Every structure is written in structure tokens, then in C-alpha cells.
A and B are shown apart, each in its own frame.
Chain A
């Protein structure tokens, strides 16, 4: 990649950090925004229609919680996905912004309206004191519900696009990416998952605001009865869309995830996924049925079970989705180490260092081998592997060749040259033979010294002068 490498040793290039920020965002966005806004709006509307001050007050208090969380952690983790990706994979976000400009731009407009509406809705709640004002106020809630759903709908388009290129590669067209076959099922899955978990969240939150007896428990009963219906209906639809989604994952990806089955984590995730979906929906089912029949007996903590199951399931879903994308960052166009598909043969023949920017040397020699290897590691491997830490190459090679035995240079070289065949979730090695050897030398050196590797944010950059060679001598080579 042609940017200074931000790199956290031990953290595998920081995927973990993007992952944590993104998961936190989704965990807030789905239940609290997409799921809860329509439910809260419904409560406000119903309270107004039936003159139930207590229901209105309850909706207001829960909205307060939602308001605080979404305008702080919710909004900032959304921005945070972008800020962290800018660090770890600038080539990816930079390319996505160019291809998907209108998507992001529209997304921004919708996001503005979402933020304005939540503030307007919450901050003007108490000021809506006449019937007319109240009706207008309810409409704000409705608009907010629509906008937050739209935000999600747009994001899903971007995510779906990265997984399957659709027609994008030929036409580079925006709409093609929007209409890829994973779009609808994923959107449906997320929508109903959000509603289901949103309903449980509202139920959970209501415990804190319905303490006084007996009105409190009567009010809660009223609410839970309705929420249980929401859970039941959303549950069935979550199942249907989830199913549809998995069936639509394109053949490549399926093949990929089958190979990925071997990777220790993925084996776990994959076999767990179906049963996890079943168990999760099962707990929601139990809760919903309990809510319909004897809600007053359901204790607060019981709601945490389906919620945690839901978090777990969604975590699985996102990780598996991320994983299936490998080795691509943009399907069939850009690998996750920033190398473009059409550059690959060129770099393998001409060398990676020669055309890179932030490297110490341009040609591998006997004396600079280890330094070159380090730069190559940074360019070709560091977006997924750390040196000695998480998903570290030393550990990985150790698993293969034995951590107590000497490693065979020729074997490592063969592995690196065929790494995309052996492990199809890795991109092909994007350099020439000499560079592969330099990488082997670096890894052997690293194994001995275990010296830590620092990113550009700590040790700065070095940019070797460009080779003065003109491209024409390629042709008469």
C-alpha cells in the first residue's frame, strides 16, 4: 500500500480495533436506533390516541436513554469506523469513497437528518402540550424511524458491495453495486433482527421506569404484551431472511468459507452459526411467549439472556461476513493488503519494492535482505498478521514447521509463493522471487530476535529514492 503504515504490533494490523468499534456501533445502532425508534414512536402515538399520560411518560424516559447513547457512543463509533479504517486500510476506504461517493454522500445527508430529528424529537417532547403539537411531534418520531432505517439500508449496500462485486468491475457503476444479490436478504435480516432486539431493549429499559406499584407493573404489562408480538413477528422474519442470505452467498464465497473452515476460528464460528441462530431465536421465542402469557413473572435479568445471545449472533454474523471477504477488500478488484488484481503479475515480475513508496531499499541484496524483508512484511502481510503477537507469522509458521525445530528456508519459500493456494483466504504474494527470499530471511531473523516492529506513527517513515529507471526498459527486457 502506498501510504505510511500505521501498525500496532501484537494486534495484527489492528483489525481487532476496527472490529471492536464496528461491532459496538452495530450493537447500538440496530436495537437502539433502527429497532427502538419505531417502537417508541408507536408508544407515543398510542398514548396520545388513548389519552394515556403514563405510556407517554414511559416512552419519553426510554427515549432519553436512547438519545444519550446514540448521540454519543452511537454517533462516534459510526465516525470511528471510518477514522480507524483510514488508518489501517486507507487504500480500501479511499477506493470505496471514489466508487461509492454518492452512496456515502446520501448516507451523510440521511445521517444529518437522523441526528437533527433525534434531537428535535427528544428535546421538544415536553413542549408538545397541545393535541395539534403532539400530532406534529409524533410525525417527527416517524420521520426519525424512517431515516435511521435508511441509514442502515445504505450502509448495507456498501457492505454487500464489498462482498460481491456484482457488475461493478465491468461497468464501475454505482447502481449495479446497489442491486447485488446479497442486498435484500441482508437488509431484511438486519431490519427484523433490529426490531426483535429493539423490542427486548425497550422491555428491559421499562423495568427502570416502572418501579412504583401497582401502576408501574400494570403499565409494564401493557407494554410487554405488545412488545412480545413485535418479537414474535420479527423472529420469524429474521429466520426467513437469514436463511435467504446464506443461500445467496455466491459460490466463490461459499467455497472460500468452506476452505476457511480449516482456520481454527472459522471452524468454530461456522459450525456454531446455524445452531447459534437456532438457539438465539429460541431464547427470543421463549421470552416472547412468556411475555404474552405471564409477563409479570419474567425478571429483568431473564431479558439479558436473549440480548447476549443476540449480541453473540450478530458478532458471528459480522465476523463471518468479514472473513468471507478475504482475501479481497473489494471483491475481485483489490486485495486486503492493498494490491490490485491487475497489478499482481507485474509486481511479481518487477518486484514490490521497486514501485512502493515507503520502503528503505528498492533492490534486495545480500546485505539488506532482512531490512527489505521487513518492509515486504509490512506491505504484504501486516494488514492481517502481526509479527509475534495476535495472528503472528512466527506463531503461524511455528504451527506448520514446529516451534522447536529449525524451519526449512526452501519450504517457507514454497509456502509463500503458493500461499493463496494453500490458504485461499490469503492474497497471492505480490513480489518477485528475491523478495520472497528476503521475507523468509526476515521471518527467520524475527524468529531469533523477536524484535518488535513499529508502525509509521512511532518510528516515522523512510522513503528510498525512486529508481531513475524509465518504464521503457521494461519492454526491451
Chain B
């Protein structure tokens, strides 16, 4: 039993006539997993830049935050590169699985999509500039400039995910495509804003958890952060994770309940609510950690990470289940249309092959090649046939030789292209035809 939500104005394009290189289910698993790895680094990049801006600002009062800010900035410049390179895998998979929806969304938001390249380059260069001027731009105006750079980088890194999000969202709703007039109007479709809030909160929460482990691990070098103790750092970042995750219990439902009905299925609810339940347990674990004293805080870190992984897997699969359901009808219609076209094409080509081999093209057909530029009595691009017939009277081979490798005679006319690819025999036929037609009446 399939319900199609497709409306009359839904475009049903034809698929590319090439098989997928891997079974669709393998690609689907790859898509979900590669995407989660990618989004993890994106989260760490975005969350990281936000925390860098905040801690550097706190650092104006108390230097120790400035040191912490630099330490976070150093993770951002690594994570940002991983975010980019890990993005290629999911892009590869989504291109294959949702070729028509994905590229269509790209085209409809085209300018923004293209702007990703320069925007990311500028954002990355700014993060480097920020990091490598830390020790030199330390006071007064220079410090202000330094902070401004990181704010700018942050704003860019906050904006770029929105472009991807708008595409991911837009591809789900082919019936809305005809309403789109560029990137900004695409934001009105589906529920981009709740998705974005959910993403932002996840970024900060993930970064908190990551940094709790990064600075909290026994082997980390805290010599530059001597004003902090290890348990203190753990506590700070756990807190960030905990409170922001708490917020997710608002953003999450907001996202879920604003999703267009197109892909909502009971399966989706089961997956999302199980994920949320594990999320709740994780949150309780973090709060328990926070109540522990300094000597024991951090003990449950591995557990928290494992549970978080399940939460993320749940959300990632839920996301995919929604997409699959939302696009099932569209995909089926695409398949149908593709097959219809393929069989019509096959029939046609079969008939064509069955027809007696087309007789050798006759001279008048061959002359079509020249007709764009040579008319009987008037000058089109080249001289009229009457003129040619005068020049080459009784000399068809002269025409053939010319057409094989035309020279340049008339300065007021453009150069004639060579027609060697037609072959001498055909050119000979054309030449005779030309002389015939160009004969003085």
C-alpha cells in the first residue's frame, strides 16, 4: 500500500540510464554513517568557533580564558579540514541515491551553492589568521581586531551550514520546487529554521563533550592552561554539553512537529523517540558526573560517548527514514517514467535498426551541409551557387579540394570551415550538385 502525496505540479524527471554501482541498501548505510562522521566534524568546527569567540571575550577580563580560547582554536583548525574532507563521502552517496532530487535542489539554490566555495575558503583563512596572530596581536586595537576576525569567521561558519541545510531540506519536497526563486526563498519550504536550531545546539553540545574528553584525558598537555585544573575543565565542558542538550528537548520536538507530513511514519516516531530516550539517559549520566567530586569526575566519559553515539545514530537513521518515506512516491514515479522512456527508445532504435539500411544519401541531402551558408542566388555567409558555378565551371574536383581545406579569398567574409570529414566521394556529389544548381538559367 503506497500513498503518493504527489501533486500535479511535481516535476517527474527521468533518471540517468546507468545502473547504480552498488546495491541501494549498501549506499544507504554508507550515506547514513558517512554523513554522521561528517556532521560530527562540522559540529566540532561550528561549536568550536562559537566557544572560541566566547572564551576569548571572557579572556579580556581574565587571561586564563584567553589561553583556553587558543587551545580550542587549535582544535578548530584541524576539525574544519576534517569536516571538509569527510563531507565528500556522504556527498558521493547522496549524489548516487538521490541524483535527481539532489542536483535539482543544488540548481534551484544555485548562487548560494556556488558561493560555498569562496565562503569556506575565506572562513578557513580567517581561522588561520586568527590562530597564528594570537601571540602577536595581544593588546589594544590589535586585540579587538583579533577578536573581530574570529567573530567574522564564526558568522561565516554559521551561515555556510544553512546552505547545505536548505538543499537537504529542499530535495525532500519536489512538489514545492516550482515555488522556489533562489536560495532565500527555499528557506520558506519545509522546516529549515527548526532544523537549523537543532543543528546549532548539537554543535555546541558535541563540542562540549569532545573538549571535556580532549582536555580531560590524562595525556593532554595542560601546561598552557595552568590556571585551570583538569577536573575543572571537565566540569566546564560537561556543563555546556548538559545544558545545551537540555535545550534539545525543546528544539527536537519543535523540529519533529514542524516536519511536513510527507515522510512521517510510525517507524520514524519509534526511532526518534528511542533516540530521545537514550538521550535522556545520557543527560542523566552527565548530571551525575557533574555532582561527583574532582577526583572522580570523568569516570563515566566512555559510557557517555557510547550512549551519545547511539543517540546520534538514532537521529541520523530517523532523518534517513523520513527522507526515504518523503521521497518514495517521487522515486517510484521517476523509475516509471525512466522505464517508459527507455522502452520507447528501445522500440524506436529497434525499428530503426530493422529498417533497410538508409540508401546512400543523395546529393540534395548532402547539400544540407552547405545550405546554411550557400544559397542558389543570394549571398548568405558564403558566395551564392551561381558565383561558385562560374568559378568552378567544369571543375567539380576544384570544389572538392576547396571544401577539404578551404582557403581565405574574400576578405569581407568569414573563413569557411573544412569538410574533410564528409569524405571525398560525398563532396564530389555535392560539387556536381552545386554546379548543376548554379548554372546560369
Residue numbers of A with Cβ under 8 A of B are 2-6, 17, 21, 68, 71-73, 75-77, 79-80, 82-84, 86-87, 90-91, 93-95, 97-99, 101-102, 104-105, 108, 111-112, 115-116, 119, 123, 255, 258-259, 262, 340, 342-343, 345-346, 349-350, 355, 357-358, 399-401, 408, 410-412, 414-418, 421-424, 455-463, 465-466, 471, 474-475
Contacts and interface: CB of A to CB of B under 8 A. Distances in A.
A474 B18 contact: no
Interface string B170-185: 0000000111111100
B352 A72 contact: no
A418 B18 contact: no
Contact of B375 (A68, A411, A424): A411
A6 B107 contact: yes
Contact of A94 (B95, B178, B369, B373): B95
- Is the contact region of chain B dominated by helix, strand, or loop, or is it mixed? helix
B85 A115 contact: yes
Given A400-B381, A400-B414, 14 more contacts: A75-B84, A77-B117, A79-B84, A87-B114, A90-B103, A90-B106, A90-B107, A98-B18, A108-B89, A115-B85, A255-B421, A357-B12, A408-B375, A422-B369
B146 to A, nearest CB: 18
Contact of A111 (B22, B88, B181): B88
B110 interface: yes
Interface string B97-139: 0011001101111110110110011001100100000000000
Contacts of B181: 458-460
A471 B86 contact: no
A355 B114 CA distance: 29
A83 B340 CA distance: 31
Nearest to B85: A115
B219 interface: no
A82 B106 CA distance: 12
A33 B421 CA distance: 43
B110 A412 contact: no
Contacts of A111: 85, 88
A343 B125 CA distance: 47
Q: Which 5 A-B pairs have the closest CB atoms?
A: A457-B110, A415-B372, A101-B21, A471-B344, A90-B103
B100 A3 contact: yes
Nearest to A4: B107
A472 to B, nearest CB: 8
B359 to A, nearest CB: 16
Contacts of A460: 108, 177-181
A358 B11 contact: yes
Given A76-B124, A346-B345, A87 B88 contact: no
Given A101-B22, A115-B81, A461-B108, A95 B368 contact: no
A411 B180 contact: no
27 contacts: A6-B110, A75-B85, A76-B124, A87-B110, A90-B99, A91-B16, A97-B96, A98-B19, A99-B21, A115-B81, A119-B81, A342-B345, A343-B345, A350-B348, A358-B13, A400-B372, A400-B381, A411-B381, A416-B372, A424-B421, A457-B107, A458-B182, A461-B11, A461-B177, A461-B178, A462-B178, A465-B8
B117 A3 contact: no
Interface centre among A72, A410, A474, by most chain B C-beta atoms within 10 angstroms, is A72
Contacts of A77: 117, 121
Interface string B23-65: 0000000000000000000000000000000000000000000
B343 interface: yes
B91 to A, nearest CB: 7
Given A99-B18, A346-B345, A83 B114 contact: yes
Contacts of B17: 340
Interface string B294-314: 000000000000000000000
B341 interface: yes
Contact of B88 (A79, A343, A410): A79
Contacts of A105: 92
B84 A76 contact: yes
Given A76-B84, A94-B16, A465-B8, A17 B114 contact: yes
A414 B125 CA distance: 54
B89 to A, nearest CB: 6
B422 interface: yes
Contact of B99 (A21, A72, A94): A94
A212 B9 CA distance: 71
A258 B343 CA distance: 39
Interface size class of B (residues with CB under 8 A): 35 or more
A93 B16 CA distance: 11
A3 B110 CA distance: 12
B417 A84 contact: no
B317 to A, nearest CB: 22
B371 A411 contact: yes
A346 B372 contact: no
B178 A463 contact: yes
A259 B95 contact: no
A2 B100 CA distance: 8
Interface in B404-441: 414-415, 417-422
A76 B160 CA distance: 13
B279 to A, nearest CB: 30
A421 B12 contact: no
A349 B348 contact: yes
Given A424-B421, A460-B178, A471-B344, A112 B85 contact: yes
B368 A4 contact: no
A262 B110 CA distance: 34
Nearest to B181: A460
A66 to B, nearest CB: 13
A89 B416 CA distance: 31
A72 B371 CA distance: 53
Contacts of B345: 342-343, 346
Contacts of B371: 410-411, 414, 418
B78 interface: yes
Nearest to A471: B344
A187 to B, nearest CB: 22
B14 interface: yes
B431 to A, nearest CB: 16
A421 B391 CA distance: 25
Contacts of B88: 79, 82, 108, 111
Contacts of B109: 457
A104 B179 CA distance: 34
A340 B103 CA distance: 19
B330 to A, nearest CB: 12
Nearest to B180: A460
B10 to A, nearest CB: 8
A123 B113 CA distance: 32
B116 A71 contact: no
Interface in B332-353: 337, 340-341, 343-345, 347-349, 351-352
A119 B375 CA distance: 67
Contacts of A462: 178
B281 interface: no
Interface in B348-384: 348-349, 351-352, 368-369, 371-373, 375, 378, 380-381
B107 A97 contact: no
B20 interface: yes
A119 B78 contact: yes
A80 B84 CA distance: 11
B169 to A, nearest CB: 16
Given A349-B348, A412-B372, A93 B114 contact: no
